[in-house]
Amino acid sequence: MSHLAIVPLLLPLFTGIFLLLLREQRIYVKRAISGISSIALIAVAAKLLCTVSDGSILVYSLSNWPAPFGIVLMADRLAALLVLTTSLLSLFALVYGMRGTDRQGRQFHILFQLQLFGLNGAFLTADLFNLFVFFEVLLLASYSLLLHGGGRKRIRSGLHFVVINVVGSSLFLFAVGVLYGILGTLNMADMAVKVVHVSADNVGLVKAAALLLFVVFALKAALLPLYLWLPSAYSQTSAPAAALFAIMTKVGAYSILRVYTLVFGNEAGPFANLLDGWLLGMALATIVIGSFGLLGSKRLRQQVAYLVVISAGTLLTGFSLESPAGIAAGLYYLPHTTFAAAALFLLADLIVQRRDQMEDRLEAGLVITRQKFLGATFFILAIIASGLPPLSGFIGKFMLLRAALEHPALPYIMAIILANGLLTVIAMARTGTLFFFEAHAVDTSTNTYIKQGEPEPLRVRELLPILSLLSLCVLMTFWAGPINSYCLDTASQLLDTPSYIHAVLGKVEQ
């Protein structure tokens, strides 16, 4: 049995524990260990992706207990893609954190690694209760990362974030309890087998539990009625944490995709395609509300947070088309939007520092230092985020719309996605104009907005993450062909549930 599937979990976990022992050490030691671990994680994730890209499913039974009895980890194309996205994102968020955020509290690197542990665990587990545990791991780490650095507003939005997620966890447990009580298993492959044979009087109960589970995942993914925690939490936290959190809503989207294709998918008998008609409407409504939020925002970071909401809606639109092409479009859109949102959060932080009291309020202020460079970066990122040609956002949306051509709800999908693109362009153009074009030159008599005597040069630690995330989006444009075919393979692997069930349960079934 190959141990590759468990390495993306153990690496951040052990690094986190090791860093805990080194708490009293100098910051450089912690930075080095954390950085090396993140680079190693990328290598492991890339290896994992190469291993599973031929369509094989890696199954890792912990302690060698056979599948439905023991806990199983599983890596297929989808899990490998998300682990790689997470690891790439985390390295750049971490490098940006090294410019000073990690000095604001001793535990930054520990929490960061534990958050990665939780994220990778959620992507790689094949067990519903284990998914709950990894959700809690990543949430506990994210609560502390969110509040890292402290401050009044951060604590207020943090309190809301924690309370709503604790309630979400309770709902998750209720759903898990009902499903276990009726199906007698929590292994997702085994659940997919058992769910077909549910007796008629229990169908309602299982449906209720399945939809309760959907509520929890929708909360994590920030779908329409449950997105309200996101804008304030994400816009108040520190930049590296916000950048890393760009992947957190995707955990919810991933869980929806996994559970509702595998357990309640095409072949689930009375529960086949349980979410049909719900998911698409909610995803589209999320895009609409997100666009209004984007236009109504008064701060740049709030705008980026709404872009995260919109991206969740967009990729769930892709997932809800139920066709391989739709899922593939969503999967292409997922890494692109994660990188773009993270880069925008980091860039917003650079802008905030240069505007002093103005912070990122959408008002014309004084000319900021390095404005040409920052303005150009903002311009490219805005193109990527709003889906204008020629960069990856355009390809993602184009694939999505092409996949929707056959769908009966095509007019709505087309109208909402395109209108959202237009509104995003307007909002980003307004922000860019206010920050960079309408900024007035320094008036020495009222020089209150920029720090005096500080030219604030851009350092490698600030530039490297933003430019790397940006170039990842550009690379996704150039490699759109191979990535698209990988996403299509992933989608067909997801919809082919019997082979997944066979891979996980294998010998037991025969």
Partner 1 sequence: MEALISILIGILTAGGVYLCLRSHTFPVVLGLTLLSYAVNLFLFMMGRLVIGKPPIISEQAGSYADPLPQALVLTAIVISFAMTAYIIVLALKARTEMGNDHVDGKEVR
Minimum CB separation of residue 89 from partner 1 in Å reads 25
Cis upstream peptide for 465 (omega within 30°):
no
Burial 304-315 (b: 16+ CB within 10 A, else e): bbbbbbbbbbbb
Q: Which of 83, 176, 198, 257 binds partner 1 (CB under 8 A)?
A: 176
Q: Angle at Cα 380 formed by Cα 45 and Cα 311, nearest 5°?
A: 60
Q: Is 106 helix (H, G, I), strand (E, B) or coil?
A: coil
Alpha carbons within 13 angstroms on the beta-carbon side of residue 448 total: 5
Minimum CB separation of residue 141 from partner 1 in Å reads 11
DSSP string, 430-442: HHHIIIIISPBPP
Minimum CB separation of residue 222 from partner 1 in Å reads 20
Residue located via tokens 């909401």: 309
Minimum CB separation of residue 184 from partner 1 in Å reads 8
Minimum CB separation of residue 180 from partner 1 in Å reads 5
474 binds partner 1 (CB under 8 A): no
Q: Which of 55, 66, 100, 177 binds partner 1 (CB under 8 A)?
A: 177
422 binds partner 1 (CB under 8 A): no
* Tokens at 425, concatenated: 């362009």
What span, in angstroms and rounded, lies between the C-alpha atoms of 300 and 429? 12
Reported in sequence order, the residue ranges of 188-336 that DSSP labels E, i.e. its strands, are: none
Residue located via tokens 């890292």: 148
Q: Which of 23, 103, 156, 430 binds partner 1 (CB under 8 A)?
A: 156
Q: 409 and 323 in contact (C-beta within 8 Å)?
A: no
Minimum CB separation of residue 191 from partner 1 in Å reads 14
Binding region for partner 1 (CB under 8 A) out of 175-183, 256-264, 360-368, 402-410: 175-183
Q: Which of 2, 25, 104, 170 binds partner 1 (CB under 8 A)?
A: 170
Q: 168 or 293: whose CB is closer to partner 1?
A: 168
Q: Which of 4, 27, 46, 129 binds partner 1 (CB under 8 A)?
A: 129
Residue located via tokens 């999505």: 400
Q: 183 or 501: whose CB is closer to partner 1?
A: 183
Bridge partners for 112 per DSSP: none
Amino acid identity of residue 386, one-letter, is S
Bridge partners for 187 per DSSP: 127
Q: Which of 152, 372, 459, 507 binds partner 1 (CB under 8 A)?
A: 152
User: What region, left, alpha or beta, does residue 67 occupy, with left being phi > 0 and alpha being psi -120 to 50 degrees?
Assistant: alpha
Bridge partners for 60 per DSSP: 73
Q: 160 or 440: whose CB is closer to partner 1?
A: 160
For partner 1, how many residues bind (rule: CB under 8 A)? 26
Residue located via tokens 């705008």: 303
398 binds partner 1 (CB under 8 A): no
Q: Which of 131, 147, 246, 494 binds partner 1 (CB under 8 A)?
A: 147
Q: Which of 27, 46, 173, 215 binds partner 1 (CB under 8 A)?
A: 173
Minimum CB separation of residue 224 from partner 1 in Å reads 20
What span, in angstroms and rounded, lies between the C-alpha atoms of 436 and 420? 24
Q: Which of 10, 32, 39, 155 binds partner 1 (CB under 8 A)?
A: 155
Which candidate, 215, 243, 478, 220, places its Cα nearest to that of 337? 243
Q: Residue 42 contacts by C-beta under 8 Å, 6 or more apart in sequence? A: 84, 87, 88, 91
66 binds partner 1 (CB under 8 A): no
169 binds partner 1 (CB under 8 A): yes
Minimum CB separation of residue 31 from partner 1 in Å reads 26
Q: Which of 10, 163, 458, 475 binds partner 1 (CB under 8 A)?
A: 163
Bridge partners for 75 per DSSP: 58
Binding region for partner 1 (CB under 8 A) out of 42-50, 133-141, 211-219, 356-364: 133-141
167 binds partner 1 (CB under 8 A): yes
Residues lying near partner 1 in the complex (CB under 8 A): 129, 133, 136, 140, 143, 147, 150, 152, 155-156, 158-160, 162-163, 166-167, 169-170, 173-174, 176-178, 180-181
